[in-house]
Amino acid sequence: MTSKLFIPKKYQPLLDLKQTEHAIKVVKDHFQSALAAELRLRRVTAPLFVMKGTGINDDLNGTERPVSFPVKHLGDAQAEVVHSLAKWKRLMLADYDIECGYGIYTDMNAIRPDEELDNIHSLYVDQWDWERHISAGQYNLDFLKHVVSKLYEAMKRTEFVVYERYPNIKPILPENITFIHAEDLQKQYPELSSKEREDAIAKEHGAVFLIGIGSQLADGEKHDGRAPDYDDWSTSTVNGYKGLNGDILVWNSILERSFELSSMGIRVSPEALEHQLQIEGCTDRKELYFHKRLLEGGLPLSIGGGIGQSRLCMFFLRNAHIGEIQASIWPEEMRQKCKSNNIVLV
């Protein structure tokens, strides 16, 4: 049960339980304000569940099972607890008639029952989901990097606010985030697995945006999986490399590993959606509500992503386990082992 649990040597939380609860609010309040200001986003209310069969729920890597339940007053039609709101947000850009250059963000709460529980994975997922309307001229790698840099600035400012409130938590994020494509990373560390490559590059630079998640690399493998119907990872090519998406990774000195804080990207155009559905062998999705609306030109071009709320707090407060930030379900064996090593799971 606890084989994947990592216990830092001589771990001691920098804040007690009461301070931690207060600090969580400090991080969340400041970061979402900074995020909204940097990217010109307005807050909207989001659903906890959507109807099955509409294509709105996020497929993540395509293998995770959503939690579903029958709705009595809809003839027992099945609803699904969201995995994320990657597609729902784009629908809202159209339905709210958000003009180009502006966007939305929301608090997303999800249940992912297939997660393998460890220091950073929980059954409960909380993140800021955001989406911004872009122009055709912004459908490129330079604009993706521009937005990543703005998001990173919001993270740095939040880290400094934490330091002002709690001087024993020193800022560690580098001044700038490093951009690297998964193809170059594979060439730099050909003997390492994809996860080991992430650890190596994050440790070297402190903060990295890894580009090109979902597309097949030169060695025939994908760095990691990505659903075919939200990010464009296949049609746009720069210097021979495909991909207009990626992950923000930082080096977590407590866990001694890379630490993903955000997954994001420029969303598929109708042409990119058509292409990626063919690549993944799921063209039957074209008949679903979301996909039909996109293919018919009814949705704006956009960029968007998710930023883990508990993950961000965990990193900024230097915690060893996500269960120190959020209330969830953990194996009793894990709870006891954590407790004996000064890791208190709430």
DSSP 105-147: EEEEEEE-TT---SSS--SEEEEEEEEEE--GGG-SHHHHHHH
Q: Quote the mean pLDDT of the chain.
A: 93
Average pLDDT, integer, range 124-141: 96
Q: What is the DSSP annotation of 211-279?
A: E--SSB-TTS-BSS---TTSB--SS-EETTEE-SEEEEEEEETTTTEEEEEEEEEEBPPHHHHHHHHHH
Is 65 designated active site?
Answer: no
* pLDDT at site 112: 87
Among 90, 112, 226, 311, the active-site one is 112
193, two tokens: 């697995």
Tens digits of per-residue pLDDT, 18-53? 999 999 999 999 999 999 999 999 999 999 998 998
Among 32, 138, 263, 309, the active-site one is 263
* pLDDT at site 66: 86
Cα distance between residue 65 and residue 60, in whole Å: 10
Q: Are the C-beta atoms of residues 323 and 122 closer than 8 Å to each other?
A: yes
Per DSSP, the three-state class of 179 is strand
Range from 106-115, 164-173, 215-224 that averages highest in pLDDT? 164-173
Share of residues in the chain with pLDDT > 70 (%): 98
Is 112 designated active site?
Answer: yes
Residue 189, exposed/middle/buried by CB under 10 A (0-12, 13-18, 19+)?
middle
* pLDDT at site 344: 93
Tens digits of per-residue pLDDT, 59-97? 665 567 888 999 999 999 999 998 889 899 999 999 999
Is 263 designated active site?
Answer: yes
Residue 32, exposed/middle/buried by CB under 10 A (0-12, 13-18, 19+)?
buried
* pLDDT at site 61: 59
Average pLDDT, integer, range 6-11: 94
Among 32, 58, 215, 310, the active-site one is 58
Spell out the domains of the chain, with CATH numbers in brackets. 17-339 (3.30.930.10)
Lowest mean pLDDT, pick from 25-29, 187-191, 233-237: 233-237
Is 260 designated active site?
Answer: yes
Among 32, 122, 127, 258, the active-site one is 127
* pLDDT at site 56: 86
Among 59, 80, 232, 247, the active-site one is 247
Is 58 designated active site?
Answer: yes
Among 38, 115, 224, 260, the active-site one is 260
* pLDDT at site 239: 75
* pLDDT at site 3: 59
Tens digits of per-residue pLDDT, 146-162? 999 999 999 999 999 99
Is the pLDDT at 167 greater than 60? The verdict is yes
